[in-house]
Amino acid sequence: SVSEVFDQHVRPFYIENLPALARAYPGSQRVLTNLRESGFQIAACTSGDRQTQTAALQAIGLWEYIEEMQTPDDSSFGKPDPRYLTELLAKFPQGGRVHHVEDSEVGIMMGRDCGAVTFFASYGNGTLSGEVQPDFILASIEELPMAILKANAQLSAMPLS
């Protein structure tokens, strides 16, 4: 079966070769450090399995920034079902505004349906068809802090309905 091939061949190859093949986007560690120091909590909501995604984040030096991670191993839901992200957000009981960075339209849809401010990572692997509109489009992760400030200013200026 496909899952047996993945489990026995693809995942082991991927995990073994990650340190040589994978790199974080330039500026990722600096941005995540600054966000964390500014009081943001950082979580990952991924379509990849927990073992592979943990290994990938460890290989690129970003695992230490992730407080919680949602994977298909943790849920009966998946993107774009908003319940998938809601389960992750429930692990942060203090709540707060959610800033959701994605490189897929299904992820943008999920974030939007949860009331998050959505940021499309155009530097990632996905593309926009024009049918899904994120709140912001990022050309690099280094644009994220300024985009968050802009989003927060816009939201603060909106009249209450």
Q: Is the peptide bond before 80 cis (omega within 30 degrees of 0)?
A: yes
| Predicted structure pTM score | 0.89
pLDDT at 159 over 70: no
Q: Residue 48: helix, strand or coil by DSSP?
A: coil
At residue 146, the pLDDT reads 96
Please choose, from the candidates 18, 25, 30, the residue with its C-alpha nearest in 3D space to the C-alpha of residue 56. 18
pLDDT tens readout for residues 12-68: 888 888 878 889 999 999 999 999 999 999 999 999 999 999 999 999 999 999 999
The phi, psi pair for 35, rounded to 5°, reads -65, -45
